[in-house]
Each structure stands twice: as structure tokens, then as C-alpha cells.
């Protein structure tokens, strides 16, 4: 009896083993056919296709030595033909040090079971650089983390950057919609401690000890995040629709946001350092990657220098006009730097883009370059410094540039953060900018001593882009709807109109282009489609979220935002004097009719506003809402500390110059060399007679 049981058990075991072997063999044969088919499709000639089609698969292994010791990898048995990732990531590094997985497994599921990836990304297991898992790959000690030189700890910098945390976007919207009382960042995509700040950043940058994870709008949103593998935002639920709008739409711009199928990109480090074609199709030689399936990188290759198209996938409104993917109802002005052939990375530094290790609340705090960095100002040439042996970052970055433009002992421009630029240097007595990708060199015009930059009052009060920017992008007519039965917000319009900039006082106290936007309103609906009630801090009902217009904590309109910007529309030609000094729209008064009084003091000037407003954000119909009333009272909200519309004293001073323009239209007119003296002259009897005579001729 026992013998029979033993024989039956043996037969059962052998049968199962045979079935498993035969099934694995069938899977192997099926995979072989697919392998050869994909290889044949990538062949450069019929002869090569036939050779690949009939060539048996050979088990290939590579011995990899890394911090964990020697590892035998057989990954390239299947991924035969895959491109080396980069010169700094050669084949000798292997695959598993970055991707994880079982280095000795030949069966796909076993080999890929422990790949490093973010399961919430929805892009499979192919990207180990998503910020949620990057510490296991790129952020391993000895790679892009754990160095005494903080500039080499790229992972920590990126996780603290504005693209990583979205602190600026979150703080801006939450302040405008009165979800928080301070303009400073309190929340990010994830929680993050803030390190001690350099002395030159302490006044401008975030001072809190910690950035918290963004709260959820409703408990069901938190529960959904937990079910999808998220951390639930630390368990905080705010019941404020600003957080619902941010989580349902705005956070897609985050480096780990869900890629747009229409404009493929990756996440984390790969979002910038891996290139994608417009179609999102793989064009390399790895036979295991389907070259007909959208969403794959162009090739298995890292680039140290992100392509411009990589930047403009997200920064669409500031893209080259022919590459812009959002429809526009009027053309954008092509930036003079773009016209010259410069790319985004030729101006913006690695600290601008990847962060400097500090959590910032606003974009202008994070960007370290400004016009004066390269061009100087009317009184001074650009600040320069010598590259010393200790400047490891400058020398290291140059290894990735064409022709290594900057070397030891070169004199280079210095940013406003006192960091030496790696591609702007002194050459034969000139300041030159060198293309990081091609090595092309441009001579930088210096403005010191230029008569056109010595207009009284301008140098002290105006930023360069106040005159040299000829257009700003304006998003048209967005209306937000949050429905309990749907995941997110609906944007009623994605059109962008490019208009002549309005002006306002920027965070640095200088006049800058403003980005006034049409008012944003919100519907928040429950599961039955009924608008949700607006509840104040006392628990009283204030109304309903239907066409609801928010006010910020200062009492100004949070639905009519205005903020200073650099619109990337710089031109050699400047806007005319009248476009500022005689324009209600430029002065932030919206659509208005200016009436110039006969007094040169400007006290009798009036602006009859077509579109009216008050401090509570009740705005009438019109093409461009005002930022302020003619009396200088703000009606638009701004989330930038120190930024504001012009006050009445400033409006009077600007319009007073407008009284002179009919006769003195040229910027080099002698009266502008000493404007106060000219005003005193204008009060004399002779000048009044000339003005009266000129008006009579009209």
C-alpha cells in the first residue's frame, strides 16, 4: 500500500514538473519568436534581418562590481542591443544597480519582480528615478547622494526644488483662495524638513522648520490615495476646495505627476534627463521594447543636458512659437535669446532648475540669474570671478559641455547668489556666453554707459524686462468645477493670449511686467450636483460654491490674481514711452479711458475705468480686469511678498510724464536728463504759453 502511494506521488510530482517545464518552454519559445520578430524589424538590411531571425538566443552574462560586491548579470540576454545609458553609466555598471531586479533570472516575471519603480505612476516598472523611490537608485550613497560637496547631492537638491515640491504653486493658490494666512510655503507634494539657510537667502526664502504634505479636500480623496499606495498626505483633510483643485489638476506638473499621453515624458530624474519623441515611441535596438507602443523613451540613454523640447513640454506658454502645444489666439513674441539660437539651459543654471538645496516659496527666489548677471547695468559691468581649483562644480559641469568652454583660471560671471556661472566668461576683453550643447559663442552686449539706459528715474525704479518685454501669456477664461462624482477639476478653456504687459511693483521693489489674468471662479458640487455651502470659521453659511469668487486673507480678490513675472519675450526694441505713460492697461487700471488734465502736475488726470472692482473681488465684465483703482487702491490679489499694483502717488508720477510726451516723445530728449528741473521749467509763463499755443494748433 505504501509503495503504491509512493509511486502515485512520484508520478504526480513528475507530471507537475513536466507541465511546468513544458509551459516554461512554451513561454520561452513564444518569447523567442517575439524577440526575433522585433530584432528583424530593427534590421538595417534584409540580410541582417534573416541573420537575426535564425540566430539562436545565447545566454550572456556580465560580471558587475559595485558597492555590494561582484554580481553576475544576465539581463542583456534578453535586452540584447539596448543602448548604454551614458558615458558615466557604462555597461560595466550593470543594470540592477539602478533598476533593481534579480540579476541572474532568465524568466521575465522573476527577473522583474523587484524592479525599482513607483507603482502609482501607471508607466510600468521601467523608471527607477521617480522621486518616491529615487533614494534606492540614483540617490544611493556614492552616486548622486552622500557627498561632502553639496552640489553633487542632486537627489536631495531636486527633492527640495520647486519642481519637486511645487511649494510655489501650492502656496500661491492656497493664499489667493484664503486657505492659508501666509504667503510663505507651508505645504508641498510631500513633507520635507527645511535645512539651515545660507546668509544671503535667509530674508527671502522659507523660514519654517518643516514643509507638510498637502492636505486633502475630502476624506474620500485621502482614502483613494491610501488605496493607490500613497501616504494619505499625513492624514490631514482640510475641506478646502483649493486643495481639491491642486490635487486633481495642478499637481500633474510635479516631477512625479502622471504623464500626459499626448505629450509623453517620464518622472523624477528621467523627466528631464531622458528624451522622448513627439510620438512617444522607442527608436532603439532593444528587442524587448515594443516600438509601436506610446509612452516609451526615444532611446535607453541619459543626457546631462536636457533638450529644449523637454522643457517646453511643461513650460508651454513660454515655448518657441512653432513648438507651442497650447492653442493661442494671438502670437507670442520670440525672445531675442531664442532668435540667437540659445537654449533654456544656456541661461538657466543647474541650481535654477534642480534646486540649490533650499525650499523656496516663490519662483523668483529660486532663480539665480537676472539680466544684470550677463549684461551689467548702466553704471557697472557684470560681476566676475576667477575659477579656482576648489570650484569643483564649475569644472565638473564643463565636462559635459561641448569643447569644455571654461577651465581653471578663467574669469566667469557671477550670479546674484554669488555662484560662478559655468558657461559665461571673459574672453578677449568681452563677456561671452557659450552654448553648453554646441559650443557656439555669443558676445554679450554690455549696457554700462549707454545713453538709452540713463533715463532719469528708470535705472532706480525699473527692471530691465519692464521695457524690453513686449508680451505676456494670459490664460483665458478658466473656470473650475469640483464634482463629488468625478475625480477632478474641469478647465473650461486652455487658450493662451499674448498681450502687451501691464506693469506693477515686483517683489524686489522694482517695476516689472505683470501677469494679470481673467477672474477664476469655482463650482463645488456634491454627488447630486448641488453646490456645496461655503462655511466660515464660525460655522456660519456664507453662500454656495457656484461661480464663487474667493478673496485672499488681505481682503483682495483671490479670483483676479496679478503677479510680477519674466515672460521670456525679451527684445532689442523697447516698448514706446506712451505704451506705459499713457496707457491705463499698462498701469494696471484695466480697460479705462484716460483723460489728461491741463496741469503738468498730473493732478487733474483721470482714468474712467470701464471695468470696475472693489476690494472684495466683485468684478464687472470686460476684457482685462484692473489690478487697482485710479486712486491706487488694490483690487487684484497677489501672492508675492512685497509685490503690489501702483499706488496713487506712483500713478500720478507716471501720468505726469505722459503730459510731456506729445511734444517730447523721444527718450533722449534733454528734458529727461533732469526731470525735476524740467518740471520746474514747465511751471514758467513761457512754457505755459507754448503749451497753450500747441493746443490751439490742434
Cβ atoms of 180 and 174 within 8 Å: the answer is yes
Kind of pairing between the strands at 62-66 and 533-535 = unpaired
pLDDT at 609: 62
pLDDT at 60: 83
Kind of pairing between the strands at 472-475 and 496-499 = antiparallel
Residue 678 grid coordinates: 524740467
Cα–Cα distance for residue pair 278/396, rounded to 1 Å: 31
Could you report the average pLDDT of every consecutive run of 10 residues in the chain (698 residues)? 51 42 42 64 73 71 74 89 90 90 90 92 86 93 91 94 92 91 91 62 51 88 78 74 82 78 84 90 90 90 91 63 41 84 94 90 91 94 96 94 93 95 95 96 92 80 93 72 61 66 94 81 79 72 74 85 90 90 89 72 68 43 72 88 92 87 85 85 86 72
Q: How many helices (H) and strands (E) does the chain have?
A: 24, 22
**Which residue, 477, 475, 564, 563, is CA-closest to 520?**
477
Cα–Cα distance for residue pair 476/519, rounded to 1 Å: 9
Query: Could you identify the residue written with the cell 540592477?
Result: 96
Bridge partners, residue 325, by sequence: none
Cβ atoms of 286 and 292 within 8 Å: the answer is no
Question: How far apart are the two ends of the chain, measured CA to CA in Å?
Answer: 125
Cβ atoms of 366 and 349 within 8 Å: the answer is no
Provide the CA 639 distance to its chain's centre, in angstroms. 17
Residue 244 grid coordinates: 481639491
- Coil, strand, or helix at residue 435? coil
Cα–Cα distance for residue pair 127/51, rounded to 1 Å: 32
Query: Could you identify the residue written with the cell 526694441?
Result: 573
Cα–Cα distance for residue pair 631/612, rounded to 1 Å: 12
Residue 171 grid coordinates: 502656496
Residue 494 grid coordinates: 486652455
Which letter, b or e, does each residue of 44-76 get, where b requires 16 or more Cβ atoms within 10 Å of its Cβ? eeeeebeebeeeebeeeebebeeeeeebebbbb
Residue 446 DSSP class: P
Cα–Cα distance for residue pair 482/448, rounded to 1 Å: 53
What Cα–Cα distance (Å) separates residue 415 from each residue in 27, 157, 372, 423? 59, 18, 9, 12
Cα–Cα distance for residue pair 685/50, rounded to 1 Å: 98
What Cα–Cα distance (Å) separates residue 411 from each residue in 342, 376, 385, 444? 21, 15, 5, 15
- Coil, strand, or helix at residue 521? strand
272: part of which helix (H) or strand (E)?
Answer: helix 270-273
- Coil, strand, or helix at residue 181? coil
pLDDT at 618: 41
Kind of pairing between the strands at 430-434 and 441-443 = antiparallel
Asked whether the CA dihedral 269, 271, 276, 282 is positive or negative, the reply is positive
Asked whether the CA dihedral 386, 391, 393, 397 is positive or negative, the reply is positive
Number of Cβ within 10 Å of residue 677's Cβ equals 11
Residue 112 grid coordinates: 522583474
Bridge partners, residue 511, by sequence: 462, 505
| DSSP H helices in 101-259 | 108-112, 154-160, 162-165, 167-176, 219-227, 241-248
Cα–Cα distance for residue pair 67/141, rounded to 1 Å: 9
Residue 327 grid coordinates: 492653442
3-state secondary structure 8-49: HHHHHHHHHHHHHHHHHHHHHHHHHHHHHHHHHHCCCCHHHH
Cα–Cα distance for residue pair 679/622, rounded to 1 Å: 36
Provide the CA 601 distance to its chain's centre, in angstroms. 44
User: Rounded to the nearest 5 degrees, what angle is found at the Cα of 560, between the Cα atoms of 557 and 566?
Assistant: 125
Kind of pairing between the strands at 521-525 and 479-483 = parallel
Residue 318 grid coordinates: 513660454
Kindly report whether the global pTM for this prediction surpasses the value 0.85: no
Query: Could you identify the residue written with the cell 477664461?
Result: 477
Cα–Cα distance for residue pair 236/311, rounded to 1 Å: 33
Residue 266 grid coordinates: 517620464
Residue 214 DSSP class: P
Cα–Cα distance for residue pair 151/396, rounded to 1 Å: 10
Cα–Cα distance for residue pair 72/118, rounded to 1 Å: 26
What secondary structure does DSSP assign to 88-106, as a single string? TB-GGG-SHHHHBS-TT--
Cβ atoms of 99 and 70 within 8 Å: the answer is no
Amino acid at each position: 500500500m505504501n509503495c503504491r502511494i509512493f509511486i502515485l506521488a512520484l508520478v504526480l510530482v513528475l507530471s507537475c514538473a513536466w507541465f511546468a517545464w513544458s509551459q516554461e518552454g512554451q513561454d520561452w519559445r513564444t518569447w523567442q519568436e517575439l524577440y526575433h520578430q522585433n530584432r528583424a524589424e530593427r534590421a538595417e538590411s534584409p540580410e541582417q534581418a534573416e541573420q537575426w531571425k535564425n540566430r539562436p538566443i545565447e545566454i550572456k552574462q556580465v560580471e558587475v562590481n559595485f558597492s555590494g560586491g561582484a554580481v553576475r548579470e544576465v539581463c542583456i540576454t534578453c535586452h540584447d542591443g539596448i543602448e548604454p545609458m551614458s558615458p558615466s553609466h557604462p555597461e560595466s555598471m550593470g543594470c540592477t544597480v539602478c533598476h533593481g531586479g534579480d540579476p541572474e533570472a532568465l524568466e521575465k516575471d522573476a527577473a522583474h519582480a523587484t524592479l525599482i519603480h513607483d507603482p502609482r505612476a501607471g508607466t510600468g516598472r521601467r523608471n527607477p528615478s521617480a522621486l518616491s523611490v529615487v533614494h534606492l537608485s540614483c540617490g544611493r550613497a556614492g552616486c548622486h547622494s552622500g557627498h561632502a560637496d553639496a552640489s553633487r547631492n542632486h537627489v536631495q537638491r531636486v527633492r527640495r526644488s520647486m519642481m519637486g515640491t511645487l511649494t510655489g504653486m501650492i502656496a500661491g493658490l492656497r493664499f489667493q483662495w484664503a486657505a492659508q494666512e501666509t504667503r510663505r510655503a507651508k505645504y508641498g507634494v510631500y513633507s520635507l524638513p527645511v535645512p539651515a539657510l545660507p546668509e544671503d537667502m535667509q530674508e527671502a526664502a522659507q523660514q519654517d522648520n518643516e514643509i507638510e504634505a498637502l492636505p486633502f479636500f475630502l476624506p474620500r480623496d485621502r482614502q483613494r490615495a491610501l488605496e493607490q499606495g500613497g501616504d494619505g498626505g499625513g492624514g490631514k483633510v482640510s475641506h478646502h476646495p483649493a486643495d481639491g483643485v491642486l490635487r486633481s489638476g495642478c499637481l500633474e506638473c510635479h516631477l512625479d505627476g502622471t504623464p500626459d499621453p499626448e505629450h509623453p515624458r517620464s518622472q523624477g530624474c528621467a523627466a528631464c534627463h531622458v528624451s522622448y519623441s513627439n510620438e512617444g515611441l522607442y527608436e532603439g535596438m532593444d528587442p524587448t521594447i515594443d516600438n509601436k507602443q506610446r509612452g516609451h523613451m526615444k532611446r535607453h540613454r541619459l543626457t546631462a543636458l536636457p533638450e529644449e523640447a523637454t522643457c517646453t513640454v511643461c513650460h508651454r506658454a513660454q515655448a518657441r512659437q512653432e513648438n507651442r502645444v497650447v492653442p493661442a489666439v494671438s502670437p507670442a513674441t520670440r525672445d531675442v535669446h531664442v532668435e540667437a539660437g540659445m537654449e533654456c539651459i544656456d541661461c538657466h543654471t543647474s541650481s535654477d532648475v534642480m534646486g540649490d538645496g533650499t525650499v523656496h516659496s516663490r519662483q523668483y527666489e529660486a532663480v539665480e540669474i537676472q539680466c544684470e548677471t550677463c549684461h551689467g547695468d548702466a553704471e557697472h559691468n557684470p560681476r566676475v570671478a576667477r575659477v579656482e581649483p576648489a570650484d569643483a562644480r564649475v569644472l565638473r559641469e564643463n565636462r559635459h559641455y561641448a569643447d569644455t568652454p571654461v577651465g581653471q583660471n578663467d574669469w566667469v560671471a557671477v550670479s546674484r547668489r554669488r555662484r560662478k556661472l559655468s558657461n559665461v566668461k571673459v574672453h578677449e576683453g568681452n563677456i561671452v556666453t557659450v552654448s553648453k550643447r554646441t559650443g557656439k559663442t555669443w558676445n554679450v552686449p554690455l549696457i554700462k554707459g549707454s545713453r538709452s539706459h540713463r533715463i532719469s528715474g528708470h535705472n532706480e525704479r525699473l527692471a530691465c524686462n519692464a521695457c524690453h518685454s513686449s508680451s505676456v501669456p494670459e490664460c483665458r477664461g478658466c473656470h473650475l468645477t469640483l464634482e463629488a462624482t468625478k475625480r477632478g477639476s474641469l478647465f473650461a478653456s486652455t487658450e493662451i493670449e499674448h498681450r502687451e504687459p501691464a506693469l506693477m511693483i515686483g517683489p524686489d521693489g522694482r517695476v516689472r511686467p505683470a501677469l494679470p489674468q481673467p477672474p477664476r471662479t469655482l463650482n463645488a458640487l456634491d454627488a447630486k450636483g448641488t453646490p456645496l455651502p461655503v462655511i466660515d470659521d464660525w460655522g456660519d453659511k456664507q453662500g454656495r460654491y457656484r461661480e464663487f469668487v474667493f478673496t485672499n486673507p488681505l481682503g483682495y480678490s483671490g479670483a483676479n490674481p496679478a503677479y510680477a513675472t519674466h515672460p521670456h519675450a525679451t527684445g532689442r526694441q523697447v516698448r514706446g514711452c506712451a505704451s506705459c505713460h499713457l496707457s491705463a492697461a499698462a498701469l494696471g487700471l484695466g480697460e479705462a479711458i484716460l483723460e489728461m488734465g491741463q496741469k503738468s502736475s498730473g493732478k487733474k488726470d483721470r482714468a474712467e475705468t470701464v471695468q470696475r472692482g472693489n476690494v472684495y473681488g466683485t468684478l464687472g465684465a470686460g476684457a482685462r480686469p484692473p489690478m487697482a483703482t485710479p486712486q491706487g487702491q488694490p483690487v487684484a490679489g497677489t501672492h508675492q511678498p512685497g509685490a503690489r499694483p501702483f499706488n496713487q502717488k506712483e500713478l500720478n508720477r507716471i501720468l505726469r510724464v505722459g503730459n510731456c510726451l506729445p511734444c517730447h516723445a523721444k527718450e533722449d530728449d534733454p528734458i529727461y536728463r533732469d526731470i525735476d528741473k524740467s518740471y520746474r521749467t514747465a511751471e514758467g509763463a513761457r512754457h505755459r504759453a507754448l503749451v497753450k499755443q500747441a493746443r490751439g494748433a490742434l
